[in-house]
Chain A
Amino acid sequence: KAGVTQTPRYLIKTRGQQVTLSCSPISGHRSVSWYQQTPGQGLQFLFEYFSETQRNKGNFPGRFSGRQFSNSRSEMNVSTLELGDSALYLCASSLVGGVDEQYFGPGTRLTVT
């Protein structure tokens, strides 16, 4: 079974721009969670989607948004990028969420200049 895939793997953007990151979960998994990883803050939860519905959201500004499609693929969008948004963005999929184990993709490394 193919693992979680994320595209693109690397991105360089300028302050003020917006960016869209994509995540394809493991086949059959319907829950997708997103995390931001930085050296200073560690791993922080952004949001979780299940069946196209956001079920949980972390403590991030409204510039961070996401969605999930009917095939369970998910995207996250960051508008009006700031230097502090530079991070590794990880998505993880699980069967139905809850306390299921989550399987992570390789991440998208976003650099904001």
Chain B
Amino acid sequence: GNSVTQMEGPVTLSEEAFLTINCTYTATGYPSLFWYVQYPGEGLQLLLKATKADDKGSNKGFEATYRKETTSFHLEKGSVQVSDSAVYFCALITTDSWGKLQFGAGTQVVVTP
């Protein structure tokens, strides 16, 4: 079956630091990969996506590259802000998933001034 493994949090950083959240996956077939972000008391927001190997998704300064050879989709941001404090979820879906996103456990990120 499909699975997603994320690094455990919380990850605590100072403002303007570099952020990396590791994500690796196991999937049947060729998955599409996503990063979602959840702010306190809210639902999930789609942050970025990649649908095939070597695709790079990017949004709001965040980037992630679909690496088929290492089955990874690590999230990076060069300079974090306090407003980036949230929980980040890596997720995948395959053509035979029928609407079922497979999520990682989530990584809490805390950015301090």
Cα-based distance from A94 to B97 in the complex (angstroms): 14
Instruction: Report if A31 contacts B (CB, 8 A).
Output: yes
B44 proximity list for chain A (CB < 8 A):
90, 92, 104
Q: Is the Cβ of A99 less than 8 Å from the Cβ of B105? A: no
Most chain A CB inside 10 Å of its own CB: which residue of B46, B101, B105, B106: B101
Q: Contacting chain A: which of B18-26, B66-74, B77-85, B88-96?
A: B88-96
Asked, given contacts A99-B51, A99-B94, A101-B34, whether A48 binds B99 with beta carbons under 8 Å apart, the answer is: yes
Our pick among B31, B45, B95, B100 for the contact of A58 (Cβ within 8 Å) is: B100
The answer to whether the Cβ of A56 comes within 8 Å of any Cβ in the partner chain is: yes
B contact residues, range: 20 to 34
Q: How many residues of A contact B (CB 8 A)?
A: 26
- B89's contact among A31, A43, A48, by CB below 8 Å, is which? A43
A94-113: CB near B (< 8 Å → 1, else 0) gives 10011101111111000000
B32 part of interface (Cβ distance < 8 Å)? yes
Chain B residue at smallest Cβ distance from A47: B99
Query: What's the minimum C-beta distance from B39 to chain A, rounded to whole angstroms?
Result: 10
Given contacts A43-B101, A97-B99, 10 further A-B contacts (CB under 8 A): A33-B99, A45-B101, A50-B99, A56-B98, A99-B94, A104-B44, A104-B46, A105-B43, A106-B42, A107-B43
